[in-house]
């Protein structure tokens, strides 16, 4: 296609519209969260922090926030080492069963989340893990594992295992050579995997809808319930904060990637 | 080596293999073996209507996502590096916002007193607010929005691998730009089309949050059938049978697609 052909102009126009469609809903939340109006009017009549005040002053929202942060942090602390160990084993071993195991670790991405959620609910109901913190954390570890495994496997692909062999031939044992030679070189993909697991746990809604309850309800479950009843601009304030947190984490992850 | 994978494997076995197995068992066993749940799923109206609606919506969402996503991926591939990074960043930006946040945003935009209705009334294009949400329309708009990145990324990855020389060769042999596009570029991008469509379709089949919040109770997709049978009616056997049929549909799609392209291509995106 030549530079200014009509087809080219149509292509630019369609793409621009699609990009607006993608971005607009994410951006529209911000002015609404700072609006003084009870009902949604656009543009907002005047600037106000009342929805942020409502969020921070409400014990139920604060408790939910605490649950979300706790779950996300614990998820990262458990899923990252498990995922790194598994990715390392998958990349090093030539056992045929490893291919099957690799596929199994990606199952959370394949099985529709609603099915996983209902299944976990039935199992938890039998063993008494419904509406508990350990139950919530374990489910999120499972959902976060694929992100760690995929990220670390990609990191290990550009790492030459011969380096670790050298370290071992110089007398280091396998564990020490991993921590001294391999880990520093795949550090950025480990961090990225951990951050993805954190975001996944922070945003997870559907499993939480089924298995969380009482004082252990994460932010997303309370938001979902609130949205079903009425559209309260407090949700806009929370959404803005959640989105800001996600973006900062993604920027952090991509900055680490560039460092090497 | 097996010791190293065992913690991760244990988590997967306990929290996804066992629960799904449990569902399968529960769907056929209730004080003895029974196929009653499956008989209901396949013969009762509400069940197969919901399956039909879910497949229709998924098909519509997939086609719309392809129509919207292809030009964007094409442009990102054709423009110089700086521009393509900008476009791709804008595409993945919503990816990292919670689905719940985006459902809320669409409620704000589409409701009767929402931003779009106010804007259209301000322009005096309409006198009565349009019913844009709490129906299938609202569900489709928001679902396409959420799944579009899953279409654009595999398309872009495939287009990146198409050598530019092929297009130049086409042009040097006298073909017009549109002919080289149709005869050379389009066929070579088809694996990306298949990968993107598979991912979008399969994810849409199990979608829950957008139909629940934006469908207004009328758009009962399969996922809602599962949750209602559990939460409202305590029909665990029926819920399990619906879940099993949904899962088998998803696996069947993956199986068929894997005959044509590598599944890594479909799954390796996120």
SS3 annotation, chain A: CCCCCHHHHHHHHHHHHHHHHHHHHHHHHHHHHCECCCCCCCCCCCECCHHHHHHHHCHHHHHHHHHHHHHHHHHHHHHHHHHHHHHHHHHHCCCCHHHHHHHHHCHHHHCCHHHHHHHHHHHHHHHCCCCCHHHHHHHHHHHHHHHHHHHHHHHHHCCCCHHHHHHHHCCCCHHHHHHHHHHHHHHHHHHHHHHHHHHHHHHCCHHHHHHCCCCCCCHHHHHHHHHHHCCCCHHHHHHHHHHHHHHHHHHHHHHHHHHC
Give contacts of A 218-247 with B, CB under 8 A: 220, 223-224, 227-228, 231, 235-236, 239, 242-243, 246-247
Which residues on neighbouring strands pair with residue B33, listed in sequence order? B29
Per-residue model confidence (pLDDT) at position B74:
93
* Closest Cβ–Cβ partner in A98, A111, A250 for B96: A250
Q: What's the whole-number mean pLDDT along residues A117-132?
A: 94
The answer to whether residue A258 scores a pLDDT higher than 70 is: no
Computed on alpha carbons and rounded to an integer, the radius of gyration of chain B in Å comes to 22
CATH number of A59-259: 1.10.3720.10
For B214-251, letters b (16+ CB in 10 Å) and e give bbeeebbbbbbbbbbbbeeeebbbbbbbbbbbbbebbe
Q: 3-class DSSP state for residue B100?
A: helix
Contact predicate A124/A105, CB 8 Å: no
Residues 82-121 of A with CB under 8 A from B: 82-83, 85-86, 88-90, 92-93, 95, 97-98, 101, 104-116, 118-121
In the stretch 145-164 of chain B, residues with CB closer than 8 A to chain A read 145, 148
Residues 6+ apart with CB under 8 A from A162: none
What residue segments make up the domains of chain A, in order of their start? 59-259
Which are the contacts of B147, defined by CB distance < 8 A and separation ≥ 6? B61, B65, B199, B200, B203, B204
Domains (ranges, CATH) in chain B?
22-267 (1.10.3720.10)
Q: What is the ipTM of this complex?
A: 0.87
Q: Which of B107, B267, B32, B207 lies closest to A107, judged by CA?
A: B267
Q: Could you tell me if B265 lies within 8 Å of chain A, comparing CB atoms?
A: no
The predicted structure's pLDDT at residue A260: 44
pLDDT recorded at residue A42: 60
**How far apart are the C-alpha atoms of B219 and B205, rounded to whole Å?**
13
- DSSP, collapsed to helix, strand or coil, labels residue B202 as helix
| Confidence (pLDDT) at A1 | 46
A8 pLDDT band, cuts 50/70/90, is confident
Distances (CA, A) of A193 to A159, B11, B77: 17, 17, 27
pLDDT value at position A168?
83
Contacts of A141 in chain B (CB under 8 A): 11, 15
Inter-helix orientation angle B81-92/A6-33, to 10°: 40
Question: For the segment A192-201, what is each residue's pLDDT rounded down to a tens digit?
Answer: 999 999 999 9
- Cα distance between residue A25 and residue B14, in whole Å: 38
Decide which of B263 and A167 is more confident: A167
Confidence of residue A236 (pLDDT cuts 50, 70, 90): confident
CB contacts of B114 in chain A (<8 Å) are 40
Asked if residue A231 has pLDDT above 60, the reply is yes
Q: pLDDT value at position B115?
A: 78
**52-71 in chain B: CB under 8 A from chain A:** 68-69, 71
Strands, E, within B1-160: which ranges?
none
User: Quick one: pLDDT band at residue A118, thresholds 50, 70, 90?
Assistant: very high
pTM of the model: 0.88
Mean pLDDT of chain A: 88
Are B232 and A139 in contact by the 8 Å Cβ rule? The answer is no
Helices A133-157 and A183-203: crossing angle, nearest 10°? 140
Residue B129, helix vs strand vs coil:
coil
Calpha distance A7→B177 (Å, rounded)? 10
* Nearest chain A residue to B270, by CA: A147
The mean-pLDDT minimum among A171-175, A256-260, B168-172, B242-246 falls in A256-260
pLDDT in single tens digits along all 270 residues of chain B:
788 899 999 999 999 999 999 999 999 988 888 888 888 888 888 888 999 999 999 999 999 999 999 999 999 998 988 898 899 988 988 877 888 888 888 988 888 777 788 788 888 788 888 888 888 899 999 999 999 999 999 999 999 988 888 878 877 887 787 888 888 888 999 999 999 999 999 999 999 988 988 887 777 899 988 988 888 877 888 899 999 999 999 999 999 998 888 777 777 543
pLDDT of residue A40: 61
Whether cis (ω within 30° of 0) applies to the bond prior to B35 is no
Q: Are B60 and B147 in contact (CB under 8 A)?
A: no
The span from the CA of A6 to the CA of A3, in Å, is 9
């Amino acid at each position: 296609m030549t530079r200014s052909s009509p087809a080219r102009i149509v292509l630019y126009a369609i793409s621009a519209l699609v990009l607006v469609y993608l971005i607009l809903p994410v951006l529209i939340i911000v002015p609404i969260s700072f609006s003084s109006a009870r009902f949604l009017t656009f543009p907002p009549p005047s600037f106000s922090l009342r929805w942020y005040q409502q969020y921070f002053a409400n014990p139920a929202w604060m408790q939910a926030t605490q649950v979300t942060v706790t779950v996300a942090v614990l998820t990262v602390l458990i899923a990252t080492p498990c995922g790194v160990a598994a990715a390392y084993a998958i990349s090093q071993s030539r056992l045929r069963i490893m291919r099957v195991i690799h596929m199994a670790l990606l199952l959370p991405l394949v099985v529709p989340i609603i099915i996983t959620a209902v299944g976990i609910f039935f199992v938890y109901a039998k063993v008494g893990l419904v509406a508990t913190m350990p139950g919530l954390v374990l489910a999120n570890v499972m959902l976060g594992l694929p992100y760690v495994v995929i990220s670390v496997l990609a990191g290990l692909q550009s790492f030459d295992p011969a380096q670790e062999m050298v370290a071992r031939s110089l007398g280091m044992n396998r564990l020490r050579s991993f921590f001294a030679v391999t880990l520093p070189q795949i550090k950025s993909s480990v961090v990225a995997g951990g951050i993805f697991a954190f975001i996944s746990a922070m945003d997870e809604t559907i499993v939480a809808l089924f298995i969380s309850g009482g004082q252990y309800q994460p932010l997303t479950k309370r938001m979902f319930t609130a949205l079903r009843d009425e559209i309260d601009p407090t949700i806009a304030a929370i959404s803005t904060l959640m989105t800001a947190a996600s973006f900062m984490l993604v920027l952090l992850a991509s900055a680490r990637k560039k460092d090497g | 080596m097996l010791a190293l994978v065992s913690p991760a494997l244990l988590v997967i076995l306990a929290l996804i293999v066992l629960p799904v197995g449990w569902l399968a068992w529960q769907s056929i066993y209730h004080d003895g073996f029974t196929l009653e749940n499956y008989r209901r799923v396949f013969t009762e109206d509400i069940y197969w209507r919901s399956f039909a609606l879910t497949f229709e919506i998924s098909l519509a969402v997939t086609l719309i996502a392809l129509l919207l996503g292809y030009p964007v991926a094409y442009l990102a591939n054709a423009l110089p590096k700086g521009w393509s990074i900008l476009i791709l960043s804008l595409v993945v930006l919503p990816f990292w916002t919670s689905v719940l946040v985006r459902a809320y945003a669409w409620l704000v935009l589409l409701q009767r007193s929402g931003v779009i209705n106010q804007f259209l009334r301000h322009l005096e294009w309409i006198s009565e607010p349009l019913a844009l949400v709490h129906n299938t329309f609202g569900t489709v708009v928001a679902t396409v929005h959420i799944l579009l990145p899953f279409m654009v990324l595999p398309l872009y990855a495939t287009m990146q691998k198409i050598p530019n020389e092929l297009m130049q060769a086409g042009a040097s042999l006298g073909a017009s730009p549109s002919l080289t596009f149709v005869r050379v570029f389009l066929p070579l991008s088809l694996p990306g089309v298949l990968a993107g469509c598979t991912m979008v379709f399969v994810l849409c089949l199990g979608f829950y949050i957008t139909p629940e919040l934006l469908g207004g109770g009328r758009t009962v997709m399969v996922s809602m059938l599962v949750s209602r049978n559990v939460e409202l009616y305590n029909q665990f056997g029926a819920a399990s049978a619906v879940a099993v049929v949904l899962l088998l549909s998803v696996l069947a799609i993956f199986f068929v697609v894997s005959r044509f392209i590598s599944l890594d291509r479909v799954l390796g995106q996120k």
